[in-house]
A and B are shown apart, each in its own frame.
Chain A
Amino acid sequence: MSIEHRDDTGARFGMWLFLYTEVILFSGLFILYSMALSKFPQQFAEASHKLNIYFGSINTIVLLTSSLTIALAVTAIQLGRIKQTLILCGVTVALALLFLVNKYFEWSEEIGHGIYPGSEHLAEMGPGVTNFFNLYYFTAGLHGLHVFIGATLISVVAVMTAKGKVTSDRYTLLENSALYWHLVDLVWIFLFPLYYLIL
């Protein structure tokens, strides 16, 4: 009864709108960051130096590489190379997991030093430092949640590709998942310098 309706451009258009809402979601935290930075520039710099730059740098490389692999996966599906697509999706998901594992060790170390939201050690270091780490945990936490969602999404699409539901002339789902993944990457590109580098 239902008339087959397909609109790939419409689906991409909708995805871009959704990505826009994600940008606004994160922008709330960036507003809080900028306000707090202008209030406590000294304490923010002091707090930033407590972060381990190696963890951050490795994660940046991991995420940038995963963005490359998912972009290659989109090209592969357009060329009809299913096996290659699946491998590239698998590598992307593996890199996402690597990111989260790395994050786990980074946070464990910091929590081990008594740095976590609501800790007394943090409260002793002054309001600026407290605020920095609260924002750090929530922004990176929200980003981590997005990494997890993105990895799940790519896994689901990979299964659908294996089942033949995503093909060389019907690949919008994979393309949209890749767009989402690039956004996750992009948010990190802003987070990394703001928290680890520039202060």
Chain B
Amino acid sequence: MSEKTTYTGFWQESPRTGILGWLLTTDHKRIGIMYLGCIITMFIVAAILGLAIRLELIAPGRTIMDAQTYNATFTVHGIIMIFMFLIPSIPAAFGNLLLPIHIGARDVSFPKLNLLSWYCYIVGGLLAVIAIFGGDGAPDTGWTFYVPFSTQTNTNVSLAAFAAFMLGFSSILTGINFVTTVHRLRCKGMKWGRLPLFVWTLYATAWIQVLATPMIGITLVLIILERTFGAGLFDVARGGDPILYQHLFWIYSHPAVYIMILPGMGVISEIIPTFSRKPLFGYWAMALSSLAIAFAGSLVWAHHMYASGMSDLAILIFSFLTFIVAIPSAIKVFNWVSTLYKGSIELAPPMWFALAFIFNFAIGGLGGLALGAAASDIHLHDTTFVVGHFHYVMFGGGGFALFAAMHYWLPKFTGRMYNHKMAVIGWALLFVGFNVTYMAMQAVGIMGMPRRYYDYIPEFTTLNLVATLGSWVMAVGLIIMFANLWHGLRKGRPVGKNPWGGATLEWDIPSPPPLENFGEEDPVVTKGPYEFKGVVADEY
């Protein structure tokens, strides 16, 4: 297995050749690459919709679209970003690429199931596209499908709900696969205490996927039945209860935000030690706080519903539990910062994204406390502050973590390096544009601008203009970043095994990794994932 620049590992090796070698593959790396391609495509589509929303809101009144189109645009933006980008982003793409390698396995436990889950994702994605362009028009309910509007509107809600159901099925299958893989396929010497943090967060995420996703499945099925048979389970006149819909929906959809952020935290926990040349501070605190977030995050769903009508006692309890989640989250932030302390910090592109993650996540997290407290939430509920807050966590956290992972690991999987200077320029524009956009949205939200509104009073014009300008800077940053990655990963300089000097198992095997990852012998692990002694980065 000699190192040659022509070596192309799993890109070439496959039982089948050509396109079938991809469509029928059970290799976790190929499935991961296919997921990544689809996810990035979906992200670009939804980002363009997001830019259109911002452009419409640049000034009061009609700018580029009518009100119904606007409703459909933010709904589709939300459905795609949540169900087709954020939920599968890091777990399905980088989880598939890295989980088996990280634990010293040759593949996941159920490779065929893994392929099936990709097909479920594709079917869900296609159905969503049909729902957008076909039939009675794109759904206009918002991604939450709240009743009673979702049972009454004439748009393609049933099809979109079924698409989300299929995507949920894909997510469940991935979750089952990953939990089993972590339990069963760790190589010799890979004790629980030697798992990389990325594996711990994927493990916690997989449990949430298994625990919570069936609930959205049944809820979406009930919406479809409601529309098809007029069941009335959420209709007061027929003995139903619309508030119950919100409970069932958030029992899944709140844990789902931890599906979106936890693997991102894992990525950051890999990158920070590598570029600080120091072991991660507080390994067990980091590992267990991932599980604690997964557990506590499953008990806080009703904090989305303070304004929906609940007893004061229930509000108090859910508010308290929401604050509990802040503790493991803060443990993570403090431990990342402590890892940086007195480290030998190298500001490579992945590190810039990781540092931006900590900054954005801290702002988003603190904003979350303002929303978790019932008193301030009554003022902030359904304002653009909420939109700004969750973009800080989901995009500034989850999105930036995906970009960090792409800059950190893609050279491993293509064997080629992108241009570092361009990557940092792209990062800087993205970071500045991001903060301008969503900070302005938070500010105008505090002033009282409601979310999802098509029009607004003149007082809000300036901040909306600022937010729209910021979105353009962000768009330029994204274009530079994707172009640089695309060019670099295909034509850039070849890299060796270990361009960053990482200590986890993937840096011991060739770039790109061969089929089945490890040669004839299964690996044997004798040290922890962050012991950098004797690990040297390759020159390239």
Contacts and interface: CB of A to CB of B under 8 A. Distances in A.
A117 B172 contact: no
Contacts of A24: 211-212, 214-215
Contact of A117 (B184, B217, B230): B230
A28 B218 contact: yes
B238 A127 contact: yes
B239 A32 contact: no
Contacts of A135: 233
Interface string B369-410: 000000000000000000000000000000000000000000
Contacts of A138: 222, 225, 231, 233
Contacts of B172: 18, 21
A130 to B, nearest CB: 5
B107 interface: yes
B15 interface: yes
A123 B240 CA distance: 12
Interface in B183-213: 183-185, 210-213
B232 interface: yes
Contacts of A21: 172, 176, 210, 213-214
B179 interface: yes
A127 B214 contact: no
Nearest to B15: A1
Contacts of A106: none
A131 B240 contact: yes
B239 A25 contact: no
Nearest to A129: B239
Interface in B232-287: 232-233, 236-241, 244, 247-248
Nearest to A141: B225
Given A24-B214, A24-B215, A128-B239, A13 B232 contact: no
B117 interface: no
Given A20-B210, A40-B239, A14 B110 contact: yes
A106 B232 CA distance: 22
A18 to B, nearest CB: 6
Contacts of A27: 215
A22 B239 CA distance: 26
Nearest to A26: B218
B351 interface: no
Contacts of A1: 13, 15, 515
A1 B106 CA distance: 12
B238 A131 contact: yes
Contacts of A5: 106-107
A198 interface: no
A28 B109 contact: no
B239 A127 contact: yes
Interface string A1-27: 111010101110110011011101111
A118 interface: yes
Contacts of A131: 232-233, 238-240
A29 interface: yes
A51 interface: no
B516 interface: yes
A17 B173 CA distance: 10
A27 B107 CA distance: 33
Contact of B180 (A13, A22, A123): A13
Contacts of B149: none
A118 B106 contact: no
Kindly name the residue among A28, A126, A127 whose own CB sees the greatest number of chain B CB atoms within 10 A: A28
Contacts of B247: 31
A97 B487 CA distance: 59
What 10 A-B pairs are tightest by C-beta distance, nearest first?
A: A131-B239, A127-B239, A28-B218, A24-B214, A10-B184, A118-B230, A25-B214, A21-B214, A117-B229, A14-B180
Interface of B: 13, 15, 106-107, 109-110, 113, 172, 175-177, 179-180, 183-185, 210-215, 217-219, 221-222, 225, 229-233, 236-241, 244, 247-248, 515-516
